[in-house]
Amino acid sequence: MADDAGALDAYSRAVIGVADRLGPAVVAVEIRRGRQRDADGAGSAVVCTPDGYLLSNHHVIDGAREVRVRAPAGEPTTARVVGSDPATDLALLHADPVALAAPAPGELATEAVRPGQLVVAIGNPLGFASTVSAGVVSALGRSLRGKDGRLIDGVVQHTAPLNPGNSGGPLADSRGRIVGINTAIIARSQGLGFAVGASTAAWVLAELLARGRVRRSYLGVGGATRPLDRRLARAHGVLATSTVEIMSVEAGSPAAAAGVRDGDLVIGLGPHDVTSVDELVRALRAVPVDAAVPLRLVRRGRLIVLPVTPVER
């Protein structure tokens, strides 16, 4: 019994420590999309810089006419939408740090979490401010569809209970570092919460701070995933069993300039293998804008490599 009590105390101390360290930086978000006085949307955000920048979800602030935020120790204040990224469901807000009572910003973790690791969610579910819940990391590397249809990669699945209003709030490790931004739950399920990973959040944060938007590489092709003939794969030393068949090439696009044709089979872009349309999108995400990279294709049974220079979408 003593050992059980000690373990419980250690668990409780860890969760309490996270709430004490990160809780003051988690703010309630209210959205007004129409002219009515009452809020018609709500969520959470977390202060991520000392000068009042906050990370939240795109779907929380999408279409907002007015955004108001309130930190636990601060006063309600209007926040400006600096930029948002539907493809990762992240948004960056800015509010007066004085009105927020200048809470210490949350720190984005640089170390990967592991399945089974303790995680703590803080947010404002159903309007109940500064709500703390705890669970464990269930799985890593999940993918969700963003509002624009793109895959959000590197999603953390966890068991910390979430409810409407938790969206945009942080998921933290036992040291209070942000390992994800909570973004989704599955209706009528239990113990299934999802958070956009810290590495994705850090990249989007840097892009939005620098430009107010996220730059993504663009090729200008339409494609479909199809099986790759085994004999063709063996002939070219390809281990994949599927590929992307080019169905259309936009006139004047980088793909057209490189000589890509309808019917080409894409098997790689730069250092990345391509086995599906989603894999091609992931590979493009990792390719710098305006930098030439090799596009590996199979055309009429022959392996060819074309230099292609993606541009900003």
Please identify every residue annotated as catalytic: 59, 89, 167
Q: Residue 173, exposed/middle/buried by CB under 10 A (0-12, 13-18, 19+)?
A: buried
| Residues paired with 257 in a beta bridge | none
Q: DSSP label at 108?
A: B
**CA pair distance 294, 130, nearest whole angstrom:** 49
Closest CA to 131 of 120, 142, 141: 120
Alpha-carbon separation of residue 145 from 89, 134, 185, 195, 226 (angstroms): 9, 25, 13, 13, 21
**CA pair distance 235, 298, nearest whole angstrom:** 11
237's CB contacts (< 8 A; 6+ apart) are none
